[in-house]
Amino acid sequence: MSPSAEVISLHTSRRRNCGDCEVFARCLGRTGSAQSIEALGTIEASATLVHRNDHVYRAGDAFRGLHVVKAGCVKAYVNSESGEEQVLGFYMPGEIIGFDGLAQGWHLSSAVAVGTGSICELPQARLQRLAADHGEVHDTLMNWCSLELVRMQHLVQSMATRSADARLAGFLVDLSDYHARHGYSATQFTLPMLRTDIGRHLGLAVETISRVINRFRRDGLVTIERQQVHIHDLDGLRGLVHPHTDALGEAPRRDSA
Amino acid sequence: MSPSAEVISLHTSRRRNCGDCEVFARCLGRTGSAQSIEALGTIEASATLVHRNDHVYRAGDAFRGLHVVKAGCVKAYVNSESGEEQVLGFYMPGEIIGFDGLAQGWHLSSAVAVGTGSICELPQARLQRLAADHGEVHDTLMNWCSLELVRMQHLVQSMATRSADARLAGFLVDLSDYHARHGYSATQFTLPMLRTDIGRHLGLAVETISRVINRFRRDGLVTIERQQVHIHDLDGLRGLVHPHTDALGEAPRRDSA
DNA sequence: CGAGCCTTTGACTAATGTCAAAGTATGTGG
DNA sequence: CCACATACTTTGACATTAGTCAAAGGCTCG
């Protein structure tokens, strides 16, 4: 894990108002009251180009502000004392990262680009000023932080109660939902992250990820080749997500001969 | 609000300024800037006596505000579609619950008293007004929400990477730390929650909890009888928390370029 | 074209869950 | 105050999931 790249700050494009950004409506302008959205539109941010393994921030870094994933995919993770990496989440375009840094003034987790992408920084001072001037912005920020909390609660629930199959099915369904929400195909998309990282995210070994994908393929649920995902039976996949202890005499065995 | 003819009897639970409360310094007054603390002290709250299994809020309830555990212990949990309960955390006196309700305006989790205790409500409208008037209060609220997020991240990490022994050891150490921080014995305290709930919190079966406790007892680390915990070897317990893949006499890959 | 990284597969193991039942506290009504 | 009912905890035997180890197979990129 040494070949990691520097923390970003390299290539920045011109600074401009967020409200003028072509993806504003899917980003800061996605939620909140009209006043809040208008206020957030006045933030000036510059998108930074990032490449695979570029860090957005690292655990221990001083908190400079929140970051928005504008393009690409960002992996948030923590390292345990014994060096293992736990992936807390994968963040897609329009999603905001860095809330854990608000707790103590420095980050407790790290964020790294999964592939080529683009990141905007929302400077803390600017956000504070905005929140002070517009109560609605404060509400919106709290909403986002709370949403992040809920996201983590779901992950906890998933890891504590679901089987490997259910976890991976849930992971794929979540990705599918994201794409559908944003107007892309719910059944055909790319899987930008490594199998290893999916495993570290779901609390499973890489080999298990591989085997489960295989099982799904055999059962005709999906075709996953390299990074390309085709979901053939989205409902079937959804059905796998929840434990369903209902099988009183009828176990959910799907055998394609 | 509540007719005074309620169960409110033992303790003075009439509405009064939080700043005058005897536990303020361990509660709202625990963190944040001086201005923030002063502002929060002006909140008026009334403590409500709760008994075992009384709910503070339930999933689906409209979000009315945050709640402070003043005495006792509160269990936060979610129910999966298949009815299983996942315990997200146990909250001790001075801790604040309900941040997940900020995300959507209603709660996604439930909170229930583990035993007899006392709860204060911090009305949302009051908090919003305070945050609007005092930017520092806004910061403090974000801090708390972020801290809650970090707490959940730790739980994720624990469940994904630690063995049953490590998880329970961590759980006990956390409790011990809480008691130490608050001036109580770090090695002798009560375990207010059921074994079942500890299991549901750590993602383990009740039987496993029981067996691990037994193992700890055999190894002379603790004595746990009913709800009474005696920690005999706190350092030993701490040592168990982290995986330590020490097998081949320390071989952490520290490859430099 | 070769090196390194990533993924897949197979064989085996270990940790934890499940089921069943006994043991032990707790509370209630007689 | 007892006796019973209920709820919680512990223990044992066994099943099963997912992890580990080892190695081969495929991409990708310099």
Query: What's the pLDDT tens digit per position in B139-198?
Result: 999 999 999 999 999 999 999 999 999 999 999 999 999 999 999 999 999 999 999 999
Which of residues 146 to 175 on A have a Cβ less than 7 angstroms from any strand D atom? 163-165
Least confident of A153-157, A252-256, B85-89, B119-123: A252-256
Q: Do B100 and A200 touch (CB under 8 A)?
A: no
By the 8 A CB rule, do B37 and B28 touch? yes
Q: What is the pLDDT of residues A6-46, one digit of tens each?
A: 455 444 556 778 988 888 998 999 999 999 999 999 999 88
Contacts of A181 (CB under 8 A, 6+ apart): none
Q: Which long-range contacts (CB under 8 A, 24 or more apart) does B90-95 make?
A: B90/B114, B90/B192, B90/B193, B90/B197, B90/B201, B92/B178, B93/B23, B93/B26, B93/B27, B93/B69, B93/B117, B93/B182, B94/B23, B94/B26, B94/B27, B94/B30, B94/B68, B94/B69, B94/B182, B95/B68, B95/B69
Q: Is the pLDDT of residue B41 over 90?
A: yes
CA distances from A65 to A21, A68, A144, A220, B126 (A): 19, 10, 14, 44, 27
In terms of Cβ atoms closer than 10 Å to its own Cβ (0-12, 13-18, 19+), residue A109 is buried
Give the 3-state secondary structure of residue B238. helix
Amino acid at B171: F
Nucleotide of closest approach to B207 (CA, C1'): D10
By the 8 A CB rule, do B103 and A149 touch? yes
Which of residues 112 to 151 on B have a Cβ less than 7 angstroms from any strand D atom? none
- Alpha-carbon span A109 to A55, nearest angstrom: 11
Rounded distance in angstroms from the CA atom of residue A170 to the C1' atom of nucleotide D27? 28
- Alpha-carbon span A144 to A127, nearest angstrom: 13
Q: Is the pLDDT of residue A235 over 90?
A: yes
Residue A3 contacts strand C, CB under 7 A: yes
What does residue B152 show for φ and ψ, rounded to 5 degrees? Answer: -70, -35
Query: Which sign, positive or negative, has the C-alpha torsion A47, A48, A51, A55?
Result: negative
Least confident of A60-64, A66-70, B252-256: B252-256
Give pLDDT, residue B111.
Answer: 97
Split at pLDDT 50, 70, 90, the class of A142 is: very high
Amino acid at B136: E
- Alpha-carbon span A212 to A206, nearest angstrom: 10
User: Which bases along strand C come within 7 Å of a protein CB atom?
Assistant: 5-11, 15-20, 25-26
Tell me the sheet residues that pair with B66. B122
Q: How far is B155 from chain A (nearest CA, A)?
A: 7
How do beta strands B47-50 and B117-123 pair?
antiparallel
Mean confidence (pLDDT) of chain A = 89
Q: What is the pTM of this model?
A: 0.90
User: Is residue B239 within a helix (H) or strand (E), and if so which, with residue range?
Assistant: helix B234-241
- Alpha-carbon span B253 to B238, nearest angstrom: 24
Q: What is the pLDDT of residues A85-134, one digit of tens each?
A: 999 999 999 999 999 999 999 999 999 999 999 999 999 999 999 998 99
Which residue's CA is nearest to the C1' of nucleotide C14?
Answer: B163
Q: How far is A50 from chain B (nearest CA, A)?
A: 22
Nucleotide of closest approach to B205 (CA, C1'): C17
Q: Is the pLDDT of residue B110 over 50?
A: yes
CA distances from A203 to A38, B19, B156, B208 (A): 40, 44, 9, 19
Query: Which sign, positive or negative, has the C-alpha torsion B187, B191, B195, B196?
Result: negative
Give the 3-state secondary structure of residue B57. strand
Query: Which sign, positive or negative, has the C-alpha torsion A217, A220, A221, A225?
Result: positive
How do beta strands B188-190 and B96-97 pair?
unpaired
CA distances from A56 to A67, A92, A93 (A): 8, 14, 14
Cα angle: A186, vertex A191, A197; to 5 degrees:
135
Q: Which of A142, A151, A162, A238 to mutate to test the interface with B (most CBs of B within 10 A)?
A: A142
Using alpha carbons, select from A58, A119, A122 the residue that is nearest to residue A92.
Answer: A119
Residue A224 contacts strand D, CB under 7 A: no
Q: CA dihedral defined by A145, A109, A152, A222, rounded to 10 degrees?
A: 120
